[in-house]
Each structure stands twice: as C-alpha cells, then as structure tokens.
Amino acid sequence: MAIGWYLAVSAFIFCIGAAGVLTRRNPLVVLLCLELMLNAGNLALVAFARMWGNGDGQIFALIVMVVAACEVTIGLGLIVAMYRNRLPIDVDELRELRG
Amino acid sequence: MAEVVFFIAALAAIAGAIGVVMLRNPLYSVLALVCHLVALAALFLLLRAEFVAAAQVVVYAGAVMVLYVFVVAYVGGADEPLRGPGPGGLRVVGPLTGALLLVELLIATLGSGLQAISAEGAPYVSGFGTPARIGELLLTKFLLPFEVASFLLLVAAVGAVILARRRRGLDEDQGGGRTGPLDIPRPVETGTMAESVGTRGA
C-alpha cells in the first residue's frame, strides 16, 4: 500500500480524537481521546519510517508511547483525587483553578 | 493480500476511534479503544514495525488499558448524555473543528505532491524494525532519549502516587478538616478546592 493511505488514516483518527476532546465532558473520555490523537501521530511516524527505510521514526513512536503512558498515569491520578474530594467528574463543572 | 489486510485494519481502527468518541458509557469507550489499538498494531505490522506493534499490544492494549478499566470501575462509569445541558455552541463547534482539521490535514499530506507518498516506501532491508535493530538504535544513537524517557516514567509514577494517595481516613472525612502534607486541622471556609465548588462546607 502507498504511504499516503496510512497518512490519510492517521489524519482521520487524529481529527476524531480532536473532536472528542472538544465535545466530551467526562475527563476519562477526554484522556481516551488524547490517546487517539497520540496514536494517530504514532501511525504517521511509523509510516514515515517505512517511507525512508530508517528506524529513527520507530524509536520516536516508542518514545511517544512512553510519554502517553506518563500522561495516562498522571491524568488518572488526578481523576482519582477528584473523586476522593467529592468533586464532580465533569470538565464543564471544574472551571476554577483556585484550590 | 496486503491491501485487504490494510483496509480491514484501517476500517477497524477508524470504527474503534468513532466508538471511543460516541459511546456513552466510559467502560465501553475503553473497550473500543482496545479494539482500535489492536487494529493499529496490525497497521504497524504492515509497515514492518514488528517491535512497535508488539509493544503496542503488550504495553498499551494490555497494561495501560487495565489501568483505565480499574479507574472506570473505581470512579463508576456513569452514563453521560452526549448532548446534555451546557454551552450549546461547543457541541457544534467541536465536530466542525474536527472536520476542518481533517480537510486541512488531507490537503497538507495528500496534496503535497511528494513523490514518495504515493510509493510503497523504501526497499525492505532484512532486519528493519526487529527488536535487535530497535535495541541497537536505542542503546547507541538514542541513548539520551532512552534514559530521559525512563526518568520521565519514574517522575510520572511518583507523581501519580502523590496525587492519588488517601489524604485522610474515611472516618475523618465528614470533619472536613485535614488537608495538606502536615496533617494540621484546617478550619472550614478557608478556600479548599472542595469548598470552591460548593460540595463541602457550604
């Protein structure tokens, strides 16, 4: 398959994830949509690595996976802390930064 | 053969992504994301990225998704209305922004006129994308990013423990006094995050 097909799929997934981040209100689902966007970037990176026949893009994709795992850990920790403090699990309700 | 596998995997990946966004129950969204990740791993295999595909399935679809399922089970995946009350403009602007972004990205990638995009890619060299090649790159050319990534994982783990630890016992919870690391009783109406949204002390 031509590389352009992979890039088109990657663009589709990225835009679905971006629309999800903007529309959904549950922070868990917002985190899932961020995962979608990171995975779309990963697909584009691996496709470009195949295009050049060079392994550097795959290393970049692995590092992106590490960063995504860190982001998930911190985000889920925040959600658990919100739940413990009896805060609403809704990004529209959590508008104040004042702690 | 590769075309058939590509279209099946691509359709599964896009369907999984749509499922993540559209399903109401967060648990079903997590399961849709697992399907999406497995389909994406198939695409990685088609791109000759064997190690990345294996890491995707084992680390992502295995470990990270288990973390999600635990948190969804802990918090309780309440069904959320897709179009509930709230700022109505965002319900329209969000998908519209996504569609415009898609048009822009497709113009940027497919309309760029690059010769290499419409080709199969570089000729396959034996050993491309295998664990041996990836490991060699990680320990020679990309040693510093590798070490920084491991340090980042450590920082994230410590941060998550500090964020999610239990700050007070269940019995003292109604008193509303103890916050902060020093365990000093804190009077009500002193501006905690819970009070600012009116769930406690009001």
pLDDT in tens, B97-110: 889 999 998 888 87
Query: Which structural domain, as residue segments, surrounds residue B5?
Result: 1-79+127-141
Q: Which residue of B has its CA nearest to A29?
A: B26
Of the candidates B121, B155, B162, the beta carbon closest to that of A3 is on B121
Question: CA of A60, closest CA in chain B: separation in Å?
Answer: 9
Sign of CA dihedral A58, A60, A64, A66: positive
d(CA A8, CA A51): 15
Of the candidates B21, B90, B95, the beta carbon closest to that of A33 is on B21
d(CA A42, CA A63): 10
Element (H, E) at A96: none
d(CA B57, CA B36): 11
Q: Look at B195 and A46; give whichever has higher pLDDT.
A: A46
- A12 chain-B contacts, CB cut-off 8 A: 14, 17, 102
Interchain contact, A77 vs B164, CB within 8 Å: yes
Task: Give the type of residue at B170.
Answer: L
Q: Please state whether A87 falls in left (phi above 0), alpha (psi between -120 and 50) or beta.
A: beta
What are chain A's domains?
3-84 (1.10.287.3510)
Q: Does residue B190 lie in a domain region? A: no
Q: Does residue B71 lie in a domain region? A: yes
- A94 chain-B contacts, CB cut-off 8 A: 197
pLDDT exceeds cutoff 50 at B175:
no
Other Cβ atoms closer than 10 A to B136: 14
CATH number of the domain enclosing B23: 1.20.120.1200
Q: Does residue B21 lie in a domain region? A: yes
- What is the domain count for chain B? 1
Q: Does residue B24 lie in a domain region? A: yes
d(CA B105, CA A75): 28
Phi, psi angle pair for B31, to nearest 5°: -65, -35
Q: Does residue B132 lie in a domain region? A: yes
Going by the DSSP 8-state scheme, the letter that residue A91 receives in this structure is T
CA-CA distances (angstroms) from residue A40 to A4, A13, A25? 14, 6, 22
Q: Does residue B68 lie in a domain region? A: yes
Q: Please state whether B163 falls in left (phi above 0), alpha (psi between -120 and 50) or beta.
A: alpha
Average pLDDT over residues A50-79: 91
Q: Look at A13 and B193; give whichever has higher pLDDT.
A: A13
Question: CA of A34, closest CA in chain B: separation in Å?
Answer: 11
pLDDT tens digits along B113-159: 777 777 777 777 777 888 999 999 999 999 999 999 999 999 999 99
Going by the DSSP 8-state scheme, the letter that residue A97 receives in this structure is -
- A52 chain-B contacts, CB cut-off 8 A: 121-122
CB B186 within 8 A of CB B168: no
Tokens linked to B47: 């791109």
Tokens linked to B142: 């990309």
What is the structure's pLDDT at B173? 46
The secondary structure of chain B as a DSSP string is -HHHHHHHHHHHHHHHHHHHHH-SSHHHHHHHHHHHHHHHHHHHHHTT-HHHHHHIIIIIIIIIHHHHHHHHHHH------TT-SS-HHHHHHHHHHHHHHHHHHHHHHHTT--TGGGS--SPPPTTTTSHHHHHHHHHTTTHHHHHHHHHHHHHHHHHHHHHHS--S-SGGGGT--EETTTTEE--SSS--HHHHTTSS--
**Where residue B171 falls among pLDDT bands split at 50, 70, 90?**
very low
Closest CA to B8 of B42, B54, B55: B42
CA-CA distances (angstroms) from residue B89 to A61, B66, B83, B92, B189? 35, 35, 11, 6, 35
- B133 chain-A contacts, CB cut-off 8 A: 55
CB A28 within 8 A of CB B72: yes
What is the structure's pLDDT at B202? 43
Average pLDDT over residues B16-23: 93
Q: Which residue of A has its CA nearest to B193?
A: A99
Q: Does residue B9 lie in a domain region? A: yes
Q: Does residue B45 lie in a domain region? A: yes
Average pLDDT over residues B174-192: 58
Best of B193, B195, B199, B200 to mutate (most A CBs within 10 Å, chain A) = B193
**Where residue B37 falls among pLDDT bands split at 50, 70, 90?**
very high
Of the candidates B106, B125, B197, the beta carbon closest to that of A53 is on B125
Residues 36-55 of A with CB under 8 A from B: 36, 39, 42-43, 46-47, 49-55
What is the structure's pLDDT at A84? 83
CB B191 within 8 A of CB A99: yes
Best of A14, A22, A25, A29 to mutate (most B CBs within 10 Å, chain B) = A29
